[in-house]
Amino acid sequence: MEDNPAPTGRTLMDATTFKDNFGHIWEKKTYMCHKVEVWEGDKWVPVEELQDFLRNQGPRHAELCFLDRVRSWHLDEGKQYRLTCYISWSPCPDCAQKLVDFLGENSHVRMCISAARIYTFVSGYEDGLRRLRDAVDRLAIMTVEELQGCWKTFVDNQGQPFETWTELEISIGAQCQKLQDILGVRIRETEGWTQSL
């Protein structure tokens, strides 16, 4: 069984599924945990009923399934929303562009994305990530703290804490460096002046 009902009526992800997809095995499936906040007064307030997780459905990537879900919510255009997504693989170039397009068409929605690892299996993934970086509030590799937060919020953890291990922390460091290399601004010095590439 892959998921179990949460006490709040929400479905929770099976602990093994979470560990396999966000931790050490790196399954080919893509899972996304998401939370939604609305700006009220002077702070972001969680919209608990929209907090959930999903996965890719056959050939339809998790990001596109998520956009379908967001559109079904009919978020009030008179309010500001922040969508925070924790995803097992970073978006492919096509999904990155769909997210960029969605954000461009919905100025009342902001997005933060943290990925467990970088999806490198198609050409152009670097350009897709750079376009996405320019459209979202935050694009990063998941930290141990974010993994622990997802474990507490989205996983049927049976009251057990999320346990980290050395290889996970090494992997996070390597993925962070790779993303920084992709997204970082390179400076080239040419005849006494600098240019951002």
The residues that are catalytic are 63
Length of the chain counted residue by residue: 197
Alpha-carbon distances, residue 50 vs 23, 66, 79, 94, 150 (angstroms): 25, 11, 16, 25, 15
Q: Is 98 exposed, middle or buried (0-12, 13-18, 19+ CB in 10 A)?
A: middle
**DSSP code, position 85:** E
Q: Is 157 exposed, middle or buried (0-12, 13-18, 19+ CB in 10 A)?
A: middle
